[in-house]
Structure formats: structure tokens, C-alpha cells
Structure 1
Amino acid sequence: MKYRLLLSSLVLLVAGLFLASLLLGASDLGPRASLAAFWSGEGAAGLVLREIRLPRALLGVLVGAALGLSGAAMQGFLRNPLAEPGLIGTSGAAALGAVIAIHTGAYAAFALALPLAALLGAGLAVALLLALAGREARALTLILAGIALSSLAGALTALALNLAPSPYAAAEIVFWMMGSLADRSMLHVALATPFIAIGAVVLLRQGRGLDALTLGEDAAASLGVSLPRLRLGVVVGTAALVGAATAVTGAVGFVGLVVPHLLRRAVGAAPSRLLPASALGGAAMLLAADIATRLVVPERDLKLGVLTALVGAPFFLRMIRQIGREGA
């Protein structure tokens, strides 16, 4: 009963924040006039609401849910509350793909070149990860392989930035890597939605296996859980979610780390319950953060990734301190 109440509350919270994301902005229109303009689609206000704010709000829900869900899956799989979705290297590889598209100028010739390059980078990262770690790899091997891929992607990204053909290209790379939902269109929504939907279905189907894994790998295997299949499902599902999210928004950190930690006590020890709750919580957190970027410094283009890092980093340090005290 408490779990259903929690999910219902999160759904209402996401719906309220989605509506606020549509109605809040630099426009002087009131809520009623904004809703009327949205339904009619007429005039400049209708254009702004349908072509600018609606894709931004939809991506806030999709990307936030993707990051929250993948974070909960990674923490359940690794049995570590400090694990986060980018641990397997897909976010760094997706960012590298986007940076290459900017560096080569491909994004200027083709509107979707940047997110498509990011998705390609994430796909290559998964292939390399599975090749390095092997399908039978244990969690530690996956972590080490992911760290190696993240380091390589980070080094190549720095190289691309260092060799940028012009200061404008370098600035474009830096701003994109900060993460943002601004200036996105329904094309970005259409591109990200299938990957996020597939990744979400794959991860949600791993709930039973993750529940059994809380007892240990040997116990999970004795309960009939196929550990190689579970690892493959978590890796592929997380890669699809994180790759698609990074492709359309850039680097947005800490959502997948913070949200599952905040909701874990409310859902108990079962990862299967934490997965959908974290998806809703991630959507709510990203929508709230995006609204804040418009209201805190309205005259400046405050990047979403910067705000989530400013909020998430102190929370992360507090988590480490708390775990250290419990260990002592």
C-alpha cells in the first residue's frame, strides 16, 4: 500500500512539474493564457509553447527517467549505493561521439548528426565493454573495463578540444558538454524515445534477478537466475538509456546517483521496486532542475549539467561520509 502511494505521489509530482515546465519561462503570459495558446497553437506564444517548451519538457521526463532508472539498476547490480550509470563508460563514449561531430563540422551540415554520433559512440562502447570483460565477467571486471573506456573517451575528448579547428568550435564543445535541455526539438524527442523505451523495458525485466542478487551471486544462481543474462541485460539496458540521454542533452550527472539513494528507504530493500520509483524520481528531479535553470538566473544560460553537479556533488560527499561512519 505504501509503495503504491509512493508511486502515485511521484506520478502526480512529475505531472505537476511537467505542467510547470510548459508554463514557466521568460514570457509575460499568465498560466491561463499560456494554456490557451498551447491548445490553439496560434501566434508567437503558441509557437513557443509547442516548438520550444514542449520538447524541453518531454525530454526532461525521458532523460530524467532514463538516468534515474539506469542508476537504480547499476546500484542494484553492483550492490553499491555509490554506483552511477556512467560507470560502464557509455556516457563518456557518447560524449566523445558528439564532440567528434562538432569537431568535424558534421553537426552544422546535418541537424541530427550530433545525437546520432553520440548514439554510435555509446553503441561502440558497449561492444568494446563486452569484448573486454566477456559475457561471463564478474562485476569487478565490468567496472574496470568501464573505467578504462571512460578514461580513453575522456582523453580523446580532451584531444579533440585541444585540436579544435576554431575557438567557436571549442566553445561549442565546452557548452555542449555542460548539458542542457534548451534548443531541442521534437526531432530529438523522436530520436531518443525508442532507445529509452527499449532500455527501460530491458532493465525493468531484470527486477527479479536483481532482487535475488541481493543475497549474493551464488544464492542468485541457486534460485535459477542466469547471471550472464542478468549482466548482459543490465549493461545493454543501461547503455541504451544513458547513450540516448547523453545524445540529446549532453553530460548531466548525479541524477542516477542521487535519486535511487533518496528513494531506497521508502521502497525497502527490493531493487525491483526501486527501478520504477527511481525512473519517476529522476524525471521529477530533472524537470525541477531545468525549471530552476530558467528561474535562478533568467538573463543567463545556466546549463542543466552545471546545476545538477552543484547540487549533487555535496550530496555525494555526504553519502561518502555517512558510509564511512557506518563502516567505522
Structure 2
Amino acid sequence: MSYGGLMAALAALVAALFCASLLIGPGAIGLADSLDALLRGRGEAVTLVMREIRLPRALLGVMVGAALGASGAALQGFLRNPLAEPGLIGVSAMASLGAVISLQTGLAAAFALALPLAALAGALAAALLILVMAGPRGAALTLILGGVAISALGGAASALVLSLSPNPFAAAEIVFWTMGSLADRSMVHVGLMAPFFLIGLALLAPLGRGLDALTLGEDAAEAMGVSLRRLRLTLVAATAALVGSATAVAGGIGFVGLAAPHLLRRAVGGAPSRLIPAAALGGAVLVLAADVAVRVIAPDRDLKLGVMTALVGAPFFLHLIARARREGL
């Protein structure tokens, strides 16, 4: 299949799953009634369900999946490591720490947007820390080690807050939030994520040529006129915007940024400039499919989206490790 055909097929699959996300839910609403409520606003109760519950959930599914898929492909291209994933530089862990602090201190209960804003602040702190630790000319290995340290710090701090929490209700909210979910989200969350999502994609868009050149090695890329310092700065900023905003509105959703690029790498030839757009669509497909699955598998239970992606992603990750060992990587 040609690259254009692959992108068209992925876009069609995203559109189909988006429609499925709008139509599938605990309320038994017919197709005609759903469309009337969504497009024309007919039926007060049905309109509320479609426009304020299902539409934000479907839109966030597309944006969260695309953000994780695109950032995962970009990081794998920059680090030249097929096992890299968006949480590698610590943005997810620090965003989770910000959200945990807002829940523990009661800010999330006092102010509706306190939780996602605190998570975004944590993501920004992670980006600044990784840039400081990597230095102006930090190599890829330095970036990885710095990211591991920041991830460990964020995870340990979140665990400390949870273990010292005197409020069992806050502790339960923290645990449920870290599992990841798109349920009970509104258009406010869509509006909060959308600017960071668009900024992140805009920053990633011009990096394709530099990442393609980097596949030949850092020396070759610099000889071709690629500024590795600028590339790294832009990549970290884009990843912070994409992953930070996704974590802020959806919580912890793992393995999408790892799986989406791998599923599509051979189909696009491995070039990062082609893989990033394809992985964005692939990530949207994975998140939408998983979100539809949690509603179909356990309609009466609040099965978390992050649990579903982990159940599918963990065996996939083990398969990648086994294949890497066979290939001597």
C-alpha cells in the first residue's frame, strides 16, 4: 500500500471509530435520535448526552491518541531507539505529580480546572529540568538518563504524597486518576488541551527532515546542516506540550506512544518524517478503540482506559523485547 493510501485508510478508521464513540454508551439512544441531537439539538436530554458527554470524550480520544502516537514516533526517531516512548523524558511522571498534588491539597475540588492546570505545570517543570540536566549540547544518552531520573523523582514524589495522605477519599481519587480515563470529561477539557495539542503538532511538523538526517548519525546530520541543539529543544518542547496536555486531561495512558509507531514503521519505511503523521493517526485509532472497548466489555463498571491499554500493550512490549533479542539489538 502506498503512503497516501495508508494515511487515507488510517483517517477513515479514525472517522469510523469516532462515530462509534459517539454512538456507543450506556444510554440506549438510536442512531437517528443521536444525529438529530448532535447536529440539530433536538431533545434536551439526548442533546446533553451527545454534546456534553459523548462528543468531548470522542474528541479527547482523537487528540490524546494522536499526541501520544506522534510524540512517541518523534522520540524514537531522535533517540534512534525503537523502544523509546513518550514518558521517557519524565513529562508524564511530573504531570501526574502535579495532578496528585492538586487532588491531595483539595485544589481540584475547589477549582474545576485545578487538576489539569497543575498537571500542565508539572509537565512544564519536567521539560525545563530535562533541558537543564541535558545541557546546551547534551547527547541522546544524557537526555535518556535525565528523563529516567525525572521519571523516578516524579513517581517517588507521587507515591510519597499517596502514602502520607490522611484522606482516604483523596487517595482513592489519586489512584483512579492515575489509571487514565476519558469518562466524565467536558468541552472545557477539550478547550484546555486543544491549544497545547496544536502547538505541539506545529512544533513537530518541521522536524521531519532533521530526524530523517539523524538516522544516518549525529555527525552526518550536522554535516547536512541540521542543528542538533535546536532539534532537541524543539522536540522536548513539542513532547512536553503533547504528552503534558494528554496526561493533564486523561491521566496515565501507557503503551500507545510505543505501540503506534511500531505497528506502522514497516508500512512507512521507517522514515520519521512519514512515521510521525502515521503514528498520530495510529495512536488515535488505538485510544478510540480502547475507549469503545471499555464501554462494550464492562458497560456497568468504570473500567479505566489506562488499564485496557496496559493489558494490551504489556504483551506487545514483551514481544518487542523478544524480537529485539532475536535480532541482536
Give the TM bin, normalised by the shorter chain: over 0.9
For 1:278, the equivalent position in structure 2 comes to 279
Give the residue type in structure 1 aligned to 2:110.
A
Deviations 1:12-57 (A, max 9, x none): 1111111110011112122222112222323211110100000000
Deviations 1:80-136 (A, max 9, x none): 110000000000000000000000000111000000000000101111111111121
For 2:48, the equivalent position in structure 1 comes to 47
Contact 1:207 1:271 in 2 (8 A): yes
Contact 1:260 1:274 in 2 (8 A): yes
For 1:59, the equivalent position in structure 2 comes to 60
- Cα offset, 1:269, TM superposition: 2.4
Give the residue type in structure 2 aligned to 1:135.
P
1:73-88 equivalences in 2 (<5 Å): 73-88=74-89
State the alpha-carbon separation in 2 of the partners of residues 133 and 79 from structure 1.
Answer: 17
Q: Tell me the secondary structure at the aligned position of residue 294 of structure 1.
A: helix
State the alpha-carbon separation in 2 of the partners of residues 47 and 115 from structure 1.
Answer: 23
For 1:183, the equivalent position in structure 2 comes to 184
State the alpha-carbon separation in 1 of the partners of residues 24 and 159 from structure 2.
Answer: 36
For 2:29, the equivalent position in structure 1 comes to 29
Give the residue type in structure 1 aligned to 2:9.
S
1:64-143 equivalences in 2 (<5 Å): 64-143=65-144
- Cα offset, 1:267, TM superposition: 0.3
Q: Tell me the secondary structure at the aligned position of residue 182 of structure 2.
A: coil
Give the residue type in structure 1 aligned to 2:129.
L
State the alpha-carbon separation in 2 of the partners of residues 89 and 235 from structure 1.
Answer: 11
State the alpha-carbon separation in 2 of the partners of residues 291 and 264 from structure 1.
Answer: 25
State the alpha-carbon separation in 2 of the partners of residues 269 and 56 from structure 1.
Answer: 32
For 2:232, the equivalent position in structure 1 comes to 231
The 10-residue stretch of structure 1 (35-44 or 65-74) with the greater mean CA deviation from structure 2: 35-44
State the alpha-carbon separation in 1 of the partners of residues 171 and 47 from structure 2.
Answer: 35
For 1:2, the equivalent position in structure 2 comes to 2
- Cα offset, 1:323, TM superposition: 0.8
Q: Tell me the secondary structure at the aligned position of residue 205 of structure 1.
A: helix
State the alpha-carbon separation in 1 of the partners of residues 121 and 149 from structure 2.
Answer: 18
Contact 1:103 1:165 in 2 (8 A): no
State the alpha-carbon separation in 1 of the partners of residues 134 and 38 from structure 2.
Answer: 50
Root-mean-square deviation over aligned CA pairs: 0.9
Give the residue type in structure 2 aligned to 1:269.
G
State the alpha-carbon separation in 2 of the partners of residues 164 and 192 from structure 1.
Answer: 29
Give the residue type in structure 2 aligned to 1:19.
C
Give the residue type in structure 2 aligned to 1:253.
G
State the alpha-carbon separation in 1 of the partners of residues 215 and 83 from structure 2.
Answer: 16
Q: Tell me the secondary structure at the aligned position of residue 65 of structure 2.
A: helix
Give the residue type in structure 1 aligned to 2:77.
G
Give the residue type in structure 1 aligned to 2:2.
K
Deviations 1:169-220 (A, max 9, x none): 0000000000000000111000001001101111121100000000000000
- Cα offset, 1:234, TM superposition: 1.1
Q: Tell me the secondary structure at the aligned position of residue 141 of structure 1.
A: helix
1:13-24 equivalences in 2 (<5 Å): 13-24=13-24
State the alpha-carbon separation in 2 of the partners of residues 255 and 319 from structure 1.
Answer: 14
- Cα offset, 1:165, TM superposition: 2.7
Contact 1:267 1:274 in 2 (8 A): yes
Matched, 1:201 2:202: yes
Give the residue type in structure 2 aligned to 1:312.
G
Q: Tell me the secondary structure at the aligned position of residue 323 of structure 1.
A: helix
- Cα offset, 1:160, TM superposition: 0.6
Give the residue type in structure 2 aligned to 1:38.
L
Give the residue type in structure 2 aligned to 1:143.
I
Matched, 1:248 2:240: no
Q: TM-score, normalised by structure 1?
A: 0.99
State the alpha-carbon separation in 1 of the partners of residues 146 and 255 from structure 2.
Answer: 21
Q: Tell me the secondary structure at the aligned position of residue 327 of structure 2.
A: helix
The 10-residue stretch of structure 1 (50-59 or 198-207) with the greater mean CA deviation from structure 2: 198-207
Q: Tell me the secondary structure at the aligned position of residue 310 of structure 2.
A: helix
Give the residue type in structure 1 aligned to 2:15.
A
State the alpha-carbon separation in 1 of the partners of residues 301 and 8 from structure 2.
Answer: 35
- Cα offset, 1:285, TM superposition: 0.8
Give the residue type in structure 1 aligned to 2:26.
A
Give the residue type in structure 2 aligned to 1:130.
L
State the alpha-carbon separation in 2 of the partners of residues 271 and 7 from structure 1.
Answer: 15
Contact 1:136 1:228 in 2 (8 A): yes
State the alpha-carbon separation in 1 of the partners of residues 270 and 145 from structure 2.
Answer: 26
Q: Tell me the secondary structure at the aligned position of residue 327 of structure 1.
A: coil
Structure 1 gap segments, 5+ residues each: none
Give the residue type in structure 2 aligned to 1:81.
P
State the alpha-carbon separation in 2 of the partners of residues 154 and 36 from structure 1.
Answer: 46
Give the residue type in structure 1 aligned to 2:236.
V
Structure 2 gap segments, 5+ residues each: none
